[in-house]
Amino acid sequence: MKISIIGTGYVGLVTGACLAEIGNDVLCLDVDARKIDILNNGGVPIHEPGLHEILKCTRAAGRIRFSTDIKESVEHGEIQFIAVGTPPDEDGSADLQYVLEAARNIGRYANGFKVIVDKSTVPVGTAQHVRNVVVEELTARGIEPTGKNAFSVLPNPEFLKEGAAVDDFMRPDRIVLGVDDDEAGQIAREKIKRLYAPFNRNHDRTLYMDVRSAEFTKYAANAMLATRISFMNDLSNLADAVGADIEAVRRGIGSDPRIGYHFLYAGCGYGGSCFPKDVQALAQTARENGHRLRILEAVKEVNDLQKEVLVGKITKRMGEDLRDRTFAVWGLAFKPNTDDMREASSRRLIGALLERGATVRAYDPVALAESRRVFALDLANKPQQLERLHFVESQKDALPGADALVIVTEWKEFKSQDFAHLKSELKMPVIFDGRNLYEPEAMAELGIDYFAIGRPHLELPAA
């Protein structure tokens, strides 16, 4: 099938690559010429495991192309995937300007029946807005949106985890489709059913529902996962106060099949492109409809506060004035296996350390280039602070002479360490662990002053 993908971010690029991988003819559109140049020259503008390999193969086979030509993109695909960003607006609602501009372009250049798939995360009612915009453009061209010039808008939310997006797309646990009951909707349903048939061979994973329910499902899913994270983070702070171990608590409640273990790990707050903005957008949708989602409002508040917890532990141990202190920071991306720095906890932590006069040596396995770009923007008006932030090329390079190690992202390479070497490199054997990678008892036995999230802080044995 001929497919057009509008937007080459995480969702659009993974969607396009995976659909090309199973044999479709895919054209990916982006208005960012820099991105398209990178892709046309064999590069990949984002870090996503497995994506480079798929793009290399599909490029060589001629099944995927990249363009900035909007007219070419619209004319190419019988199915048009809208996979553009929906950043938070000033009031927390999703900004739909890019979605509606994509819809407007489809209406301007549509040359036959089009299936318009909303892959972007959009609030309830967006499909109707997209439909109205396309009709407006077709009408301006003197085209009646019926028969061969008809179209249908299908919400098809993505459920891709950054760092595992290729595998999630190729082996989906569900495919959610919002389908209209009219004639155009049924034609679109059959086309999209054929497109997704290769993913349903073992059993049908497709969930058909009405359009508004499909739009709602994505926000509901992310809100639930964010709630689990904030719930455990809130409990971890109480565990600190009462002397309980949140890891033991996690095992105790996760063993209940009604609860399960997923997204129950305490840490220093969630980030990324989805949870923060989707929680805000769903809460704002509720307010616009005269309702308050009080639990979600608390989820956001807890997460905002959780990003300060490590800073609190550091200042309690070392004081508010951190001048003449140096910290090694391991992990900058908001989660492992990605270079995404959006809403990353490291940004809040490092900003707070620099504000208090500290020097920071920071390392991340894949996010160094993006981190340099992001912190240059974050600290554009604070040149003296930016001078005290140094990015290093290995985890070991961050350690020499540092007063403490701070762990922010749970990359695998951080999990097993030569702790004797680590102690010898640090001025003081102190670790602040925002992801609970190590066992407090083992750290105490090794003579390391270890501060984790919701886990016991054990006094070191007397020298």
Q: Return the active site residues.
A: 274
Note whether 417 and 448 are within 8 A (CB). Answer: no
Phi/psi at 83 (nearest 5 deg)?
-130, 50
Give the number of residues written for the chain. 463
Q: State CA 166 to chain mean position distance.
A: 14
Closest CA to 434 of 454, 449, 416, 418: 454
In the 3-class helix/strand/coil scheme, how is 424-458 assigned residue by residue?
Answer: HHCCCCEEEECCCCCCHHHHHHCCCEEECCCCCCC
Parallel, antiparallel, or unpaired: how do β-strands 25-29 and 64-67 relate?
Answer: parallel
Q: Which residue, among 94, 117, 88, has the nearest Cα to 3 in the 3D structure?
A: 117
Distances (CA, A) of 328 to 147, 318, 404: 64, 15, 6
Alpha-carbon gap, residue 223 to 276, rounded angstroms:
9
DSSP letters spanning 216-250: HHHHHHHHHHHHHHHHHHHHHHHHHHHT--HHHHH
Beta bridge partners, 5, equal 28, 81
DSSP string, 379-414: TTT-HHHHHTEEE-SSTGGG-TT-SEEEE-S--GGG
CA distances from 341 to 48, 74, 299, 334, 395 (A): 13, 32, 21, 6, 18
Question: Who's near 414: CB < 8 A, 6+ residues apart?
Answer: 330, 331, 395, 407, 437
Task: Determine the Cα–Cα distance for residues 190 and 79; give it in Å rounded to an integer.
Answer: 12
**DSSP structure class, residue 67:** E
Helices (H) and strands (E) counted in the chain, each on its own, are 18, 14
Angle, alpha carbons 366-16-410 (nearest 5°): 25
In the chain the first and final C-alpha atoms are separated, in Å, by 71
> How far apart are the C-alpha atoms of 424 and 190, rounded to whole Å?
65
Identify the burial level of 140 via C-beta atoms within 10 angstroms of its C-beta, where 0-12 means exposed, 13-18 middle and 19 or more buried: exposed
Given a contact cutoff of 8 angstroms between Cβ atoms, the answer to whether 346 and 275 are in contact is: no
426 vs 424: CA distance, rounded Å: 6
